[in-house]
Amino acid sequence: MDERTTALVETLLQGIRSGSRAQMARAITLVESTAPRHREAARELLTELATNPNSGVTNPNSGVTNPNSAIRVGISGVPGVGKSTFIEALGSQLTAAGHKVGVLAVDPSSVRTGGSVLGDKTRMSQLSADPNAFIRPSPSAGTLGGVARATTQSMAVLEAAGYDVVLVETVGVGQSEVTVAGMVDTFLFLTLARTGDQLQGIKKGILELADVIAVNKADGDREMEARGAARELAGALRLVRGHGEWAPPVVTCSGLTGTRVDEVWDQVQLHREHLGVEGLARKRAEQQLEFTWALVRDELAQRLRHSKAVRAVQDEVRTAVLAGDLTAPLAADRLLAAYDTE
């Protein structure tokens, strides 16, 4: 590491530990970066944070997670279900109760298009003006694996800066939810009382990831409907889950009015209690192992993309496959053989 990098890491460490928002934002930008020089600095920064007993992150040497580490909660649901409104209400209630709340986002649309629909500051105006909250939009580049890496590491930065609750928001589509479920303690699924919506959720397997379910927008005329949907969902879930397992509670709330948002939080706490100290430590350890392999896959994908030897043959392979002259398995062998020569 050169002197400039060492100095940068030192500045960021001091800033993070003293709670400087500007340095924390800089550190998060650093861990989101895919530039090799930044990645080296990020690794150094995260190692330093992890070995600091007050950092709250898992110590790689002892495997012990500091009990002061943040409560990590994933929040998911289809666009329009009311995630940002809910997070605004929950986040504000939590900061009012003395917590420091970080909000991160994993947005699969940003992966594809470079645009972001989540974590948009303008959607959480109250919370983004709150000195005890820190909202970070989804990193807008790279693969889902890359975004997950950035988010996990941003979480470590927030925890080191004393944030004791981290909410990770994601859109209710596909792989991003599995990814987020793999980095949080409790996965909260927001849904609506619309007919058929809840059963669709079960089909997609999302409800199997959920630890707590909230039927949102239970206000005004929709309240009764929401309660009915919650009952129906709770019944359906009993069929999905086995005996003795945590049965995800289904509650109703309104992010807009803030009604029963505290009850949703109570359920999150109950889920943590159900896990217990050991269960939580085990869950996090397993997540670390899974994350390790995700990092390896991400790095390999990166190397594959940048491989000169692969580039040298890929046009030829592409042409041959499109013309039907080369089968996919043989084409894959050719590309891998080229990669292996590097």
Q: Does 255 bind ligand GDP (CB under 6 A)?
A: yes
Q: Does 227 bind ligand GDP (CB under 6 A)?
A: no
Contacting range for ligand GDP; rule: CB under 6 A; set: 83-91, 148-156, 201-209, 291-299:
83-91
Q: Does 256 bind ligand GDP (CB under 6 A)?
A: yes
Contacting range for ligand GDP; rule: CB under 6 A; set: 35-43, 53-61, 175-183, 211-219:
211-219
Q: Going by DSSP bridges, is the β-strand pair 165-171/71-77 parallel, antiparallel, or unpaired? A: parallel
Report DSSP letters for 284-324, one per residue: HHHHHHHHHHHHHHHHHHHHHHH-HHHHHHHHHHHHHHHTT
Among 23, 85, 92, 307, which residue interacts with ligand GDP (rule: CB under 6 A)?
A: 85
Q: Give the residue from 19, 18, 13 showing the smallest Cα distance to 31.
A: 13
Instruction: State the DSSP code for 325.
Output: S
Q: Give the residue from 164, 159, 113, 170 showing the smallest Cα distance to 137.
A: 170
Q: Does 81 bind ligand GDP (CB under 6 A)?
A: yes
Which of positions 310-329 make contact with ligand GDP (CB under 6 A)? none
Phi, psi of 91, deg, nearest 5: -60, -45
Two structure tokens written together for 149: 């890496």
Q: Does 235 bind ligand GDP (CB under 6 A)?
A: no
Taking CB atoms, the residue at the shortest distance from ligand GDP is: 82
Instruction: Yes or no: say if 189 and 212 are a contact pair by the CB < 8 Å rule.
Output: yes
Distance (Å, rounded) from C-alpha 241 to C-alpha 51?
39
- Ranges assigned E (strand) in the chain: 71-77, 101-106, 133-135, 165-171, 186-191, 212-215, 250-252
> Which residue, 146 or 255, is less far from ligand GDP as judged by CB?
255
Among 19, 60, 63, 79, which residue interacts with ligand GDP (rule: CB under 6 A)?
A: 79
Q: Give the residue from 135, 136, 158 showing the smallest Cα distance to 147.
A: 136
User: Which positions from 110 to 149 touch ligand GDP by CB under 6 A, shown as an x/- string?
Assistant: -------------x--------------------------
Among 100, 149, 217, 272, which residue interacts with ligand GDP (rule: CB under 6 A)?
A: 217
Q: State the minimum distance, in angstroms, from the CB of residue 166 to ligand GDP.
A: 18
Among 164, 219, 225, 262, which residue interacts with ligand GDP (rule: CB under 6 A)?
A: 219
Per CB under 6 A, residues contacting ligand GDP are: 77, 79-85, 123, 216-217, 219, 254-256
